[in-house]
Amino acid sequence: MANAPLVVVAPCSYHDGVGEYVAAMKYQGQFAILHALVTALIERLEALEAEGIVERPQVLLPVPLHSSRLRERGFNQAWIIAKTLSQRLQIPLVDDAVMRVANTRPQAGLTGKQRRRNLEGAFTLKRHFHYQRVAIIDDVVTTGTTANALAKLFESRYIHVQVWCLARAEAPHLRD
């Protein structure tokens, strides 16, 4: 299981015009595009389910922010996306299973190597977690560093992980 590639489901490319809207959500709290992007994600998920490529998870888990970053920003865009998906798909949202225990630097602008180092030991999974299929929810996946750091926590307990995001940012220059 640990060697299997992480399944990332995204309906859009960050660099094909969606990036400015995702950034506006994350940095300015402008969620006007949220409904359209969540609808696109749901359509993508349903198509992949119909092909037998993905199986619906038991719970949705938003990527957590450190408490100081949450206070600074005032919201967690991953939680808002997860809440919207939870309501639309009738899948429970669990927002207290994973904690960000290290107040890391923002990942934007870091190389792939710096991103991996930045997130070492950043997350912890609570001891009692009884689900076997989870979807980690985030706004955008670039190098996959955050998703992989979280997935390792679950995979060490033999829990199947998918990552659902609004956009995928292809960034080959960050793979050093």
* SS3 readout for the chain: CCCCCCEEECCCEHHHHHHHHHHHHHHHCCCCCHHHHHHHHHHHHHHHHHCCCCCCCCEEEECCCCHHHHHHHCCCHHHHHHHHHHHHHCCCECCCCEEECCCCCCCCCCCHHHHHHHCCCCEEECCCCCCCEEEEEEEEECCCHHHHHHHHHHHCCCCEEEEEEEEECCCHHHCC
Q: Is residue 107 domain-resident?
A: yes
Residue 51 banded pLDDT, cuts 50, 70, 90: very high
Q: Could you report the per-residue pLDDT of 133-171, keeping only the tens digit for each?
A: 999 999 988 877 888 888 888 888 889 999 999 999 875
Residue 1 banded pLDDT, cuts 50, 70, 90: very low
Q: Is residue 28 domain-resident?
A: yes
Q: Could you report the per-residue pLDDT of 27-40, keeping only the tens digit for each?
A: 888 888 999 999 99
Q: What average pLDDT does this structure show over 46-64? A: 94
Q: Is residue 2 domain-resident?
A: no
pLDDT at 155: 87
Q: Is residue 1 domain-resident?
A: no
Q: Is residue 162 domain-resident?
A: yes
Domain region containing 80? 7-174
pLDDT at 62: 95
Q: Is residue 163 domain-resident?
A: yes
CATH of the domain at 68: 3.40.50
Q: Is residue 68 domain-resident?
A: yes
Per the structure, the count of domains in the chain is 1
Q: Is residue 114 domain-resident?
A: yes
More reliable by pLDDT, 110 or 30 = 30
pLDDT at 176: 42
